[in-house]
Amino acid sequence: MKKLLITDVDNTLFDWQRLWYESFSAMSRKALDISGMDPELFYAECSQLHQKHGTSEYAFVLTELPSLKRLYGADVMNVMQPAIDSFREARREYLKPYPGVHAALDFLRKAGITVAAFTESKAFYTSYRFRKLGLDERIDFLYSPVDHALPDDASSIRKYSPETYELKYTRHRFTPEGEYKPNPHILLSIVDELGFDIESTVYVGDNLWKDVFMAQQAQVTSVHAAYGAAQHRAEEYDLLKKVTHWTPEMVAREREALRPGAVTPTYVLRDSFDEIIKIMEI
């Protein structure tokens, strides 16, 4: 029987790409409508900020866009509030776990399996989603990068004390700064830190390059969450590439990994996350 499950989060436990696309699109439409900015300039400036902060989810993007700062100065937050509200409304609608995730995690933990999550998403955004998705009480450990630096006026968006945003049950630990998937050394360090060995560990994720290849390099049993990868829609991915924090080298490596047969997982979850139960040999 396997004893440790390490799971990716985005597009494995919930549809991150759909959530990001709907939220960012709602915000962008409203911001463009208010400002009259050229859309291509808007996306280019978003991309620059995302590159700077190492995330495509930078919460302060509207208040730091150079064109909007030139247009509205110190009043940019008030002017863009309808766009921020549109983002939040879409996020509330689309932030939900995949079917079967809660039941599978509950079953695994009752069976004595330790469950850890390993994600590239920054600490604040991942912690928020864990609380809203009901994962805080269902996953034992969360490994993520630390949060990015906050602007001086961050309190205008993050209105509550820092403790409000922290997880209550899941133990949140941080991956080395500047290190990203696929990094088998981080994965192996997680396994070791939690007191397990690679033979008793299973890793599951939607990305053949970042998740499956990484697990195989670490000699950990690899599982492809194909249901998550299958839901990547072209229009969503095209917008993500336009404003992403990914470097051209990262995009090229992932494209190469997605060639048919380039990476072959040990197991495949075709329809839902709860198929992992059988793989854990319970």
The residue among 56, 77, 93 that closes a domain is 93
Partners of 144 in the beta sheet?
A: 174
84 and 102 housed in the same domain:
no
User: For the chain, what is the domain count?
Assistant: 2
The residue among 38, 66, 93 that closes a domain is 93
**Helical (H) or strand (E) element with 160:** none
At 27 the pLDDT is 97
Residues in the chain: 282
Distance CA 7, CA 10 (A): 10
At 158 the pLDDT is 54
Give the global pTM.
0.90
153 and 184 housed in the same domain:
yes
87 and 115 housed in the same domain:
no
DSSP string, 83-95: HHHHHHHHHHHH-
CATH number at residue 177: 3.40.50.1000
Domain range spanning residue 33?
20-93
Looking at residue 213, the DSSP 8-state letter turns out to be: I
78 and 124 housed in the same domain:
no
120 and 8 housed in the same domain:
yes
171 and 50 housed in the same domain:
no
161 and 216 housed in the same domain:
yes
Distance CA 46, CA 52 (A): 10
The residue among 46, 65, 93 that closes a domain is 93
* First and final C-alpha spacing in the chain: 6
Run means of pLDDT, 10 residues per run, the chain, 282 residues: 95 96 97 97 95 88 96 96 97 96 97 97 92 96 83 56 80 92 96 98 95 96 92 82 77 69 91 96 72
105 and 50 housed in the same domain:
no
Question: What is residue 203's three-state secondary structure?
Answer: strand
238 and 120 housed in the same domain:
yes
Do the beta carbons of residue 17 and residue 236 sit within 8 Å? yes
Angle, helix 39-53 to helix 234-243, in steps of 10 degrees: 70
At 242 the pLDDT is 87
65 and 104 housed in the same domain:
no
- Among 276, 268, 270, smallest CA distance to 224 is for 268
- Among 226, 190, 174, smallest CA distance to 205 is for 226
At 258 the pLDDT is 65
170 and 80 housed in the same domain:
no
